[in-house]
Amino acid sequence: MNLLPLLEATFGFSAFRENQEAVCQALTAGRDVLLVMPTGAGKSLCYQLPALARAAAGHGTTAVVVSPLIALMDDQAAKLAAAGLRVARIHSGLSRDDARQACRDYLEGRLQFLFIAPERLRVPGFPEMLARRTPALVAVDEAHCISGWGHDFRPDYRTLGESLPLLRPAPIIALTATATPVVQQDIVEQLGLADPALFIHGFRRDNLAIEVVELSKPRRNEFILKFLTPVAARPAIVYAPSRKAADGLALELGSRFSAAAYHAGLDSPIRESVQRAFLDGRLEVVVATIAFGMGIDKPNIRTVIHAALPGSVEAYYQEIGRAGRDGLPSRAVLLHSFADRRIHESFLVRDYPPVEDLDRVVRQLNAEFQAADALCDRLAMDPGTFSRAVEKLAAQGAAQLALDGGVRLTGLSTWHFGYQRQLAHRRAQLESMAAFAETAQCRMAALVRHFGDRAARLCGRCDFCAPLAAEARTFSEPTPGQQCDLRRILQTLAAGPRGIARLFDESSVGGDRRTFDVLLDGLARAGLVSLSSETFTNAEGRQVTWRKVVLTPEGRTASVSGPLGVLLPQSSAALAQKRTKVAASPEPVPAPAPSLAQTELEGRLRAWRKDEAAKAGKPAFFVLSDAVLRAVAAAAPGSISQLLTINGIGPRKADLYGAPICALCRGEQTI
């Protein structure tokens, strides 16, 4: 069936995007589908178009769309209505009358799309009401919410699978931007997808420059403030690790530009108004906990900053995916330090009480409901630990909770395994995230590999691929002393691969382990060594992970002779200053007596600067400070890459003024 005419007539798009057509064909033909494509790839169309095509062919009337968030539902519904389609929504934000009207319209076949919140399907009689007409199809958006293995798990999604069989023979499409193979399997099983067509595509984002910066916690707010100060860095989302952190940071950022916090601790009218203001462009920066941004469609987000290490690569990838949906260059900056990982580990210890605690609770329970408070007293257990233990038992299906606070055993006794598996899974997720942050490698390649895409093409944009274009990090040439140390490390490795700790001991370079790590990072970035995570099981049966360093063929050659071509990541102390080094007064450039040519060039640069400042209506130092201008005159860079090596010239300056400055330095006339 040719779907192109319908695509043009209804949605006004002249062509399918990559992979959309194949998905639409499968679903239109009545197959179940699992669709995993990144945020912004255009997944919605993959159920919307087939819904219309199926209805036109007489296979049902309405597409039933399950969606986890009101804002997301409203956004999609408004777009469809604007395209002239008949749409209704049923969620808790609407009146009973609206819901009743929606049901009537549905039953009388007047709707093309009906959006429902997942908890509706638990309302007695509601699924049966839907089943009185066969839907054209059922779409489950943000389907990863169904899986306890993913992030964003929503208990309301768990019961979805029970009501879906009533709506057959309608095909079901599950859509998500984030699903590792385990989560994919879980979605298929829980929704009861029958021999689904699998489409898992497009995790590479070509316009996203990812930077990872090691920075201690107390310095992060200031760093973020400076990073977001240039207008071009906004709109931006900053993900904060806690509500308190989000509130504090939003307040600080608010002193420079419009910023607001968004988290589950705020009333929903406030949250909605923050989201709307951000979507409309009235608010430039949102500082959010993970609750923000699922499914929102704002095309021009220029920066996403993580103020702390996220708990999983899946969550991280989805969050950075909100930047640059318009295809224009955008940046994602992750701030982390070893302390972040320890905080996550302490959360895990808190959230997953020891099995012995769970056993103690189980021993007090029986098949009858008992009041939880009384049980906790009897066990003399800390109430927090007690309630988490009960919650975990319930999650494993071993205990059941009543609305009045009663607890009883279900009789399922095999929960130990499931509990340990869940905990191990969370640990592994954290481990992957930490390894992502700590390993010098192409950031984008590492991400797409995580999602099962094996093509390891380098992105050319991240802090690994393009260190000189990095905005959150700075790199420097190694000093002669460091050159020696670098070569010593390579020579040690020539004898064979080493674990990091042993390599540090054997190569006996000066300095502490941190200094050593910087050298190693530089070698990895230059492709002279490669690092990998290895795991073995020790005598006590525990998994131990260690980092192995191997010399690459290039590294083998370099260990003997020739230039190393290594750039070293600068200590994080220098980072926070980088963004403002032009506006603030830079360190005075030590100036040997200038040559005549240099003085002339300086004069021409000053004249150009004056014009430029007048055009922008800003003081001259906004264009270039005197010190930077003199440094440029002294170095006379003929190319942008030479210009970028001058202290005080960042990528933004180079972008704005690089061409005229270099032309002047080459002695060419400019306007």
Residues at the contact surface with Mg ion, assessed by CB under 5 A: 295
| Options 41-49, 100-108, 252-260, 529-537: segment touching ligand ADP (CB under 6 A) | 41-49
Non-local (6+) Cβ contacts of 256 within 8 A are 225, 228, 229
Tell me how far, at minimum, the Cβ of 44 lies from ligand ADP, in Å: 3
| Options 35-43, 276-284, 341-349, 467-475: segment touching ligand ADP (CB under 6 A) | 35-43
Non-local (6+) Cβ contacts of 198 within 8 A are 33, 34, 36, 184
Query: Would you list the DSSP string of 41-67?
Result: S--THHHHHHHHHHHHTTS-S-EEEE-
Give me the torsion for CA of 174, 428, 399, 118, rounded to 10°. Answer: -20
630 is in the binding site of which of Mg ion, ligand ADP, none (Cβ under 5 to 8 A by kind)?
A: none
Tell me how far, at minimum, the Cβ of 12 lies from ligand ADP, in Å: 9
Which DSSP state fits 403? T
Quick one: 14 or 537, whose CB is closer to ligand ADP? Answer: 14
Strand partners, 176: 36
Among 24, 27, 37, 261, binds ligand ADP (CB under 6 A): 37
Quick one: 20 or 28, whose CB is closer to ligand ADP? Answer: 20
Overall residue count recorded for the chain in this entry: 671
Q: Taking CB under 6 A as the rule, does residue 43 contact ligand ADP?
A: yes
651 is in the binding site of which of ligand ADP, Mg ion, none (Cβ under 5 to 8 A by kind)?
A: none
Classify residue 453 as exposed, middle or buried by CB count within 10 Å of its CB (0-12, 13-18, 19+): middle
Tell me how far, at minimum, the Cβ of 177 lies from Mg ion, in Å: 7
467 is in the binding site of which of ligand ADP, Mg ion, none (Cβ under 5 to 8 A by kind)?
A: none
Quick one: 184 or 221, whose CB is closer to ligand ADP? Answer: 184
Q: Taking CB under 6 A as the rule, does residue 77 contact ligand ADP?
A: no
Tell me how far, at minimum, the Cβ of 141 lies from Mg ion, in Å: 6
Tell me how far, at minimum, the Cβ of 75 lies from ligand ADP, in Å: 8
Q: Taking CB under 6 A as the rule, does residue 42 contact ligand ADP?
A: yes
Cα angle 642, 646, 652 (rounded to 5 degrees) comes to 85
| Distance (Å, whole) CA 257 – CA 227 | 12
| Distance (Å, whole) CA 406 – CA 370 | 5
Quick one: 83 or 456, whose CB is closer to ligand ADP? Answer: 83
Q: How far from 478 is each of 134, 514, 652, CA to CA, in Å?
A: 69, 15, 25
Q: Label residues 49-85 b or e (16+ Cβ within 10 Å = b).
A: bbbbbbbeeebbbbbbbbbbbbbbbbbbbeebeeeeb
Phi-psi region of 32 (alpha: psi -120 to 50; beta: other; left: phi over 0): beta
Quick one: 322 or 630, whose CB is closer to Mg ion? Answer: 322
Quick one: 67 or 190, whose CB is closer to ligand ADP? Answer: 67
Query: Would you list the DSSP string of 311-338?
Result: S-HHHHHHHHTTS-TTSS-EEEEEEE-H
Which DSSP state fits 290? T
User: At 492, which helix (H) or strand (E)?
Assistant: helix 480-494
| Distance (Å, whole) CA 508 – CA 563 | 22
Q: Taking CB under 6 A as the rule, does residue 247 contact ligand ADP?
A: no
| Options 39-47, 197-205, 474-482, 527-535: segment touching ligand ADP (CB under 6 A) | 39-47
| Distance (Å, whole) CA 183 – CA 191 | 12
Tell me how far, at minimum, the Cβ of 139 lies from Mg ion, in Å: 10
Q: Taking CB under 6 A as the rule, does residue 44 contact ligand ADP?
A: yes
Quick one: 46 or 250, whose CB is closer to ligand ADP? Answer: 46
Quick one: 52 or 250, whose CB is closer to ligand ADP? Answer: 52
Pull the structure tokens for residue 230: 């240039």
Quick one: 69 or 225, whose CB is closer to ligand ADP? Answer: 69
352 is in the binding site of which of ligand ADP, Mg ion, none (Cβ under 5 to 8 A by kind)?
A: none
| Options 43-51, 59-67, 92-100, 198-206: segment touching ligand ADP (CB under 6 A) | 43-51
Per-residue x/- marks for ligand ADP, 271-310, CB under 6 A? Answer: --------------------------x-------------
Among 28, 40, 47, 260, binds ligand ADP (CB under 6 A): 40
161 is in the binding site of which of ligand ADP, Mg ion, none (Cβ under 5 to 8 A by kind)?
A: none
Tell me how far, at minimum, the Cβ of 178 lies from ligand ADP, in Å: 11
Nearest to 28 by CA among 63, 1, 65: 1
Q: Do residues 484 and 519 make contact, with C-beta atoms less than 8 angstroms apart?
A: no
223 is in the binding site of which of Mg ion, ligand ADP, none (Cβ under 5 to 8 A by kind)?
A: none
| Options 12-20, 180-188, 359-367, 379-387: segment touching ligand ADP (CB under 6 A) | 12-20
Quick one: 202 or 295, whose CB is closer to Mg ion? Answer: 295
Q: Taking CB under 6 A as the rule, does residue 22 contact ligand ADP?
A: no
| Distance (Å, whole) CA 630 – CA 601 | 9
How many CB atoms are located within 10 Å of the residue 110 CB?
13
Interface residue list for ligand ADP (CB under 6 A): 13, 16-17, 20, 37, 39-45, 297
